[in-house]
Amino acid sequence: SQTIHQWPATLVQPVGSPLSLECTVEGTSNPNLYWYRQAAGRGLQLLFYSVGIGQISSEVPQNLSASRPQDRQFILSSKKLLLSDSGFYLCAGGGGAAYEQYFGPGTRLTVT
């Protein structure tokens, strides 16, 4: 199975500041990678997914962007954070014959 690493665990950023969240995967190669956002008490919203290096699909128009510079690295970024960007961000990896997704521990982002 895969192990998904995310950091930082928590982050407090002012409005208008940049953002960079990193996710790395171990235990597999060429995984599908996903970024989700979970607002307080809500379900998961898929933000981006990637099937390979440099291949990013966006599900929701927003203030965020994603990049995949290496096979097992997935980065979520923003140039200027908004208050509405606050939430719990989860990275997941999946793919292969089993298709299930494995989740990282998440990053709690608070924009003040």
Instruction: Give the separation between CA 45 and CA 89, rounded to whole angstroms.
Output: 10
Q: Provide, rounded to whole angstroms, the least separation between the CB of residue 58 and other proteins.
A: 14
Task: Report if residue 47 touches other proteins, rule: CB under 8 A.
Answer: no
Q: Does residue 49 belong to the site contacting other proteins (CB under 8 A)?
A: yes
CA atoms of 73 and 5, how far apart (whole Å):
10
- Cα separation of 42 and 55, whole Å? 28
Give the residue with the Cβ less far from other proteins, 18 or 71. Answer: 71
Q: In what helix (H) or strand (E) does residue 104 lie, and over which residues does it extend?
A: none
> Under the rule (CB under 8 A), what is the footprint of other proteins?
4, 32, 34, 42-44, 46, 49, 51, 88, 90, 92, 94-96, 98-106, 108
